[in-house]
Amino acid sequence: MLTCFILIRVEAKKEDQVYDNLVKVKEIEGIREVFGEYDMICRMEARNLKELRSLVIQKVRSVPGVLSTTTLITSE
């Protein structure tokens, strides 16, 4: 199992909309708003890199208002 953190940049004034959409994604285990270069960070688990790629592209990047993501995969 892979654990990763996804750093998300959000379009201005779309933070609430993006949060409301991401909280519905069952694979996301937690979401926090952050200040600085990124606007949100979420924690997600996937069985492998193929599944992770699919989840990030289809369930995070596709959310209206998400400008970009950076995915950090943790080591054990």
Predicted pLDDT at 42: 98
What is the mean predicted confidence (pLDDT) over 46-55?
95
Domains along the sequence of the chain with CATH: 2-73 (3.30.70.920)
Considering the entire predicted model, what is its pTM? 0.92
2-20 pLDDT, tens digit per residue, is 999 999 999 999 999 999 9
Q: Detail the DSSP E strand segments found in 16-65.
A: 28-33, 40-46
Residue with tokens 């926090």: 32
Residue with tokens 């592209």, as numbered in its chain:
57
Residue 76 pLDDT exceeds 80: no
